[in-house]
């Protein structure tokens, strides 16, 4: 077997393996079985933290007395 024949055979095996993994990944995703990566878990955690922060900001914005105090604090910081 020549060098270039071996390269072509290895390339063909790599392509076949890649196609099979893509097929199985698509099938598992379609069936609802999806393996979350670490990055996806990190993003989900970050979104949850942001939701909590938004809830706090909404509570501050809707609380009139607290909102007035906050407005005064902001104005005093501007001076």
Provide the H-helix boundaries in 1-79: 3-30, 38-62, 64-78
47 vs 40: CA distance, rounded Å = 10
Is the domain of 29 the same as that of 51?
Answer: no
Q: Do residues 29 and 47 share a domain?
A: no
For 17-71, how does the pLDDT look when each residue is reduced to its tens digit (9 = 90+)?
999 998 888 877 666 655 668 778 888 999 999 999 888 888 777 776 666 777 7
pLDDT value, residue 47: 94
Same domain, 4 and 18: yes
DSSP 36: -
Whether residues 2 and 17 share a domain: the answer is: yes
Assessment of whether the complete model's pTM goes beyond 0.75:
no
Q: Which domain holds residue 8?
A: 1-35
Q: Clarify whether residues 73 and 62 are in a common domain.
A: yes
pLDDT at 12: 94
Residue 70, Cβ neighbours under 10 Å: how many? 13
């Amino acid at each position: 077997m020549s060098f270039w024949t071996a390269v072509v055979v290895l390339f063909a095996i790599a392509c076949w393996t890649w196609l099979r993994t893509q097929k199985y990944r698509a099938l598992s995703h379609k069936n609802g079985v999806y393996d979350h990566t670490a990055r996806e878990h990190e993003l989900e955690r970050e979104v949850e933290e942001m939701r909590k922060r938004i809830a706090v900001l909404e509570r501050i914005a809707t609380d009139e007395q607290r909102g007035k105090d906050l407005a005064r604090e902001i104005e005093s910081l501007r001076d």
